[in-house]
């Protein structure tokens, strides 16, 4: 599971870091981090995909969001027993507190 998360998060972190640094032209002397390289990469992808380059970043962000939902769903499925036990502990304690706070029907009927 650890490697699964690493292999999911590492490309997202690299892509996000490159996108942020190149978008704001914080290049530190590296051509790949320049705004010119940023625009060139998206022009090439736009040409290959046959779409305007400015529409690609929102599509990538949406794809990352959907992939993240799948990853979290897989993690939740694998840990469903732990999540269920946590849910029972949490709601079981709330139900017990409510039961103690409300008077029972027997105590109401025996009142003078």
Structural domain contains residue 72: yes
**The model scores a pTM over 0.75:** no
User: How many independent structural domains does the chain possess?
Assistant: 1
Structural domain contains residue 110: no
Structural domain contains residue 106: no
What pLDDT is attached to residue 24?
A: 95
Structural domain contains residue 80: yes
Structural domain contains residue 109: no
What pLDDT is attached to residue 92?
A: 77
Structural domain contains residue 46: yes
Structural domain contains residue 65: yes
Structural domain contains residue 105: no
What pLDDT is attached to residue 1?
A: 82
Report how far residue 44's alpha carbon sits from residue 24's, in angstroms, rounded to the nearest whole number: 19
Domain that holds residue 44: 2-100
Sequential pLDDT tens for the chain (112 residues): 899 899 999 999 999 999 999 999 999 999 999 999 999 999 999 999 999 999 999 999 999 999 999 999 999 998 898 888 888 888 876 776 676 666 655 555 555 5
Phi, psi for residue 51 in degrees, rounded to 5: -140, 160
Contact indicator for 55, 47 with CB cutoff of 8 Å: no
What pLDDT is attached to residue 88?
A: 87
Report how far residue 26's alpha carbon sits from residue 7's, in angstroms, rounded to the nearest whole number: 26
Phi-psi region of 19 (alpha: psi -120 to 50; beta: other; left: phi over 0): alpha
């Amino acid at each position: 599971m650890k490697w699964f998360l690493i292999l999911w998060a590492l490309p997202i972190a690299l892509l996000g870091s490159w996108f942020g640094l190149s978008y704001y032209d914080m290049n530190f002397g590296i051509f790949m981090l320049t705004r010119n390289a940023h625009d060139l990469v998206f022009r090439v992808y736009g040409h290959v995909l046959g779409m305007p380059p400015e529409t690609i970043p929102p599509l990538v962000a949406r794809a990352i969001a959907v992939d993240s939902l799948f990853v979290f769903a897989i993690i939740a499925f694998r840990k469903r027993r732990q999540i269920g036990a946590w849910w029972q502990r949490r709601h079981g304690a709330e139900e017990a507190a409510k039961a103690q706070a409300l008077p029972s029907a027997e105590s109401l009927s025996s009142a003078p």
